Amino acid sequence: MKPLIIDNFLNQEEFNPIADLIVNNFQWKYDNFVDYADDKDKFQFTHSFYKDFEIVSPFHETLKPIWNRIRPREIYRVKANLLTRTPQIVENRFHTDNPEISGVIPYTTSIFYLNTNNGYTEFEDGTKVESVANRFISFPMDMKHRGTSCTDEKVRVVINFNYLT
């Protein structure tokens, strides 16, 4: 199965305020790992909107244009991820989001790209999805994937969604 890819997911009047807020004017939390705690040399900055079905950010309403498009029945987790530029592309390890529920309930994972850069999302079958601003991809939560850093911009910023449709 290939991920569903939708370019220009939001119109520019909806996309620009979201991207400007999250990429340029946001509160980030330092995480000393990316996908696995034993990745000693990797880190990222995150901002959680929803965690374990609960709203945990005052900025959750910022995502309303996205909710209007995907119309989730249940929101499990939503977080923004910011990876800083590296001298070479660094590929993270393949993983599934929320392995404790992955494959048990048919949740969907989606990734919304907030800036264009030479980083990407890769799937175990070799499919690569380039980081293009306002691109939205969706796939079953149990599909293994990995993100990367970028080398051509200061940061690579995405929002990761886990929800039931």
The DSSP annotation for 100-156 comes to TTBTTB--EEEEEE-S--S-EEEETTS-EEE--TT-EEEEETTS-EEEB--SSSSEE
Taking the domains of the chain in order of start, what are their residue ranges? 4-164
Pick the CATH number of 4-164 from 3.30.920.30, 3.20.20.60, 2.60.120.620, 1.20.59.10: 2.60.120.620
Lookup result for tokens 């995480």: 31
Kind plus residue range of the DSSP H or E element containing 40: none
| pTM, two decimal places | 0.91
Q: What is the pLDDT along the chain (165 residues), one digit of tens a residue?
A: 799 999 999 999 999 999 999 998 888 977 666 665 667 677 778 898 988 888 888 888 999 999 999 999 999 999 999 999 999 999 988 988 875 665 667 889 999 999 999 999 999 999 999 999 999 999 999 899 999 999 999 999 999 999 998
